[in-house]
């Protein structure tokens, strides 16, 4: 099992001590400032991706859950798969994990998903850890992402 950690909270000069976005921060997706989001800066149930696509989930999960990223549309579009994986991480409450079940057509997630998770953690100031769980019987891969 591989394990990776990303913690890119910035410095006290640009973020509050615990790394949450501050009132003046703007989200890269253009959906408003931190004042428009919950105190921890995470998604709310009404959020939709800025590009208009259907979200992988419509609620914030305050439990551990799995995101199915193995549908034919995911096999055809790696960027969509990565975007929806990031959406799933954002929709997972701190202290829980999401199993990202990715389509086998893109190969092992260390090649494309893990770098995207690292980039997301840096950009969003989130503390996340991920581990490779196993390969599915259908050929996909499972990466478990713990949200701090």
What is the distance of C-alpha 131 from the center of its chain? Answer: 14
User: pTM for the full model?
Assistant: 0.65
Q: For 32-47, what is each residue's pLDDT tens digit?
A: 323 333 444 444 444 5
Write the CB contacts of 119 (distance below 8 Å, at least 6 apart in sequence): none
pLDDT value at residue 60: 82
CB-based burial, 49-84: b 16+ in 10 Å, e otherwise: eeeeeebbbeebbeeeeebebbeeebbebbebbbbb
Domain that holds residue 42: 3-147
With cut-offs at 50, 70 and 90, classify the pLDDT of residue 55.
Answer: low
Q: Going by DSSP bridges, is the β-strand pair 97-102/65-69 parallel, antiparallel, or unpaired?
A: parallel
- The total number of structural domains in the chain stands at 1
Is the model's pLDDT at 123 over the cut of 90? yes
Q: For 59-72, what is each residue's pLDDT tens digit?
A: 688 899 999 999 99
């Amino acid at each position: 099992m591989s394990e990776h950690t990303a913690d890119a909270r910035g410095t006290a000069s640009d973020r509050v001590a615990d790394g949450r976005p501050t009132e003046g921060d703007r989200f890269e997706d253009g959906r408003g400032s931190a004042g428009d989001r919950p105190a921890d800066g995470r998604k709310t149930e009404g959020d939709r991706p800025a590009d208009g696509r259907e979200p992988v989930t419509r609620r914030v999960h305050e439990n551990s859950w799995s995101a199915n990223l193995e549908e034919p549309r995911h096999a055809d579009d790696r960027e969509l798969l990565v975007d929806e994986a990031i959406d799933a991480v954002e929709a997972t409450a701190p202290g829980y994990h999401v199993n990202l079940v990715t389509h086998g057509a893109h190969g092992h997630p260390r090649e494309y998903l893990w770098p995207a998770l690292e980039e997301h953690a840096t950009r969003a100031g989130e503390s996340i850890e991920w581990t490779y769980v196993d390969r599915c019987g259908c050929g996909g891969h499972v990466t478990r992402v713990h949200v701090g």
